[in-house]
């Protein structure tokens, strides 16, 4: 499932957009330049306000000769409205987004806020500094990496990403992470293979692993848990559910250390 980004620098505009829809009109027009096929499911990512608070929701595209729009489930529409209200309350206390300093002559390092091409992998330094737990997202789909990263960074977690199991294994051996969000279907080594390897390593035997995958059968879930997975979320996912599962695993991991 691909994603489309909606940016609302003005929180009031976003609230008015949601409030202008009737009870049965939970829909948004596509951003300028975006097109969609009728019936296509799309993950809409919303960046709100100067603080760039982020959330997401899945919508179904409805294409007509005049225009195309996304239709959302009423419960997701209500959740977006609630998120907008909370963002408005927090907006006065949130600092503006950091500005990128001008590079000194001869500088070779990129700032973590530097824009990247859509297919690139998030650099080692997270784009938004966080004070919470460290999460590694392992997925070969750059859109999924961006969606999950934006959601988790918005609530203060430090997020990094890898596009393959091999890269993730290297990162885990070099750095400390509190949780892995792991795709099943990865090029070459699969997510299951990576999980099995980690479970055999004393330093990572108890590292929380959440599978985020399109594999939805009961047998797939059984296999994921059998190889050492701690939780399982099926794509397309709902942001509140994924967030709740991630924070539940983090709380359990902290409790076991206490």
Q: What is the pLDDT of residues 234-255, one digit of tens each?
A: 887 777 788 888 888 888 887 7
Q: Cis before residue 91, ω within 30 degrees of 0?
A: no
Lowest mean pLDDT among 157-161, 162-166, 194-198, 216-220: 216-220
Kind plus residue range of the DSSP H or E element containing 193:
helix 191-199
Percent of the chain with pLDDT over 70: 76
Query: What strand order describes the sheet that includes 53-63?
Result: 3-8, 41-48, 53-63, 68-72, 27-29
Q: Is the pLDDT of residue 192 over 90?
A: yes
State pLDDT tens for residues 37-70. 888 878 777 777 766 666 777 788 888 887 888 8
Fold of 134-257: Rossmann fold (3.40.50)
**pLDDT at residue number 87:** 63
State pLDDT tens for residues 225-235. 999 999 888 88
Distance CA 160, CA 127 (A): 9
pTM greater than 0.85 (yes/no): no
40 contacts: CB under 8 Å, gap ≥ 6: 60, 61
Tokens of 90: 């927090």
Q: Which CATH architecture has domain 3-93?
A: Beta Barrel (2.40)
Q: Which residues in the chain are classed under CATH 3.40.50.2300? A: 134-257
Q: For residues 101-122, give the mean pLDDT.
A: 34
Q: Which residues in the chain are classed under CATH 2.40.10.220? A: 3-93
Distance CA 54, CA 14 (A): 13
Distance CA 92, CA 100 (A): 22
Q: Is the pLDDT of residue 102 over 50?
A: no
**pLDDT at residue number 117:** 35
Q: Is the pLDDT of residue 130 over 50?
A: no
What Rg value do the Cα atoms of the chain yield, rounded? 19
């Amino acid at each position: 499932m691909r994603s489309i980004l909606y940016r609302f620098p003005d929180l009031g505009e976003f609230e008015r957009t949601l409030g202008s829809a009737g009870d049965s009109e939970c829909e948004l027009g596509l951003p300028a330049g975006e097109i969609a096929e009728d019936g296509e499911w799309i993950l809409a990512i919303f960046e709100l306000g100067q603080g760039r608070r982020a959330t997401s929701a899945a919508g179904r595209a409805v294409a007509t000769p005049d225009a195309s729009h996304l239709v959302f489930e009423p419960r997701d529409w209500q959740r977006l409205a609630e998120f907008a209200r909370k963002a408005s309350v927090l907006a006065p206390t949130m600092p503006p987004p950091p500005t990128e300093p001008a590079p000194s002559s001869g500088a070779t390092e990129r700032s973590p806020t530097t824009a990247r091409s859509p297919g690139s992998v998030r650099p080692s330094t997270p784009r938004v500094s966080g004070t919470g737990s460290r999460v590694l997202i392992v997925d070969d789909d750059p859109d999924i990496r961006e969606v999950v990263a934006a959601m988790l960074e918005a609530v203060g977690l430090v997020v990094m990403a890898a596009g393959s199991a091999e890269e993730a294994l290297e990162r885990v051996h070099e750095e400390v992470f509190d949780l892995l969000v792991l795709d099943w279907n990865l090029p070459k080594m699969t997510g299951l293979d990576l999980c099995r390897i980690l479970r055999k390593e004393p330093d990572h035997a108890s590292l929380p692993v959440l599978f985020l995958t399109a594999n939805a059968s009961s047998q797939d879930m059984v296999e994921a848990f059998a190889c050492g997975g701690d939780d399982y979320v099926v794509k397309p996912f709902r942001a509140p559910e994924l967030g709740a599962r991630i924070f539940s695993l983090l709380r359990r991991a902290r409790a076991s250390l206490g």
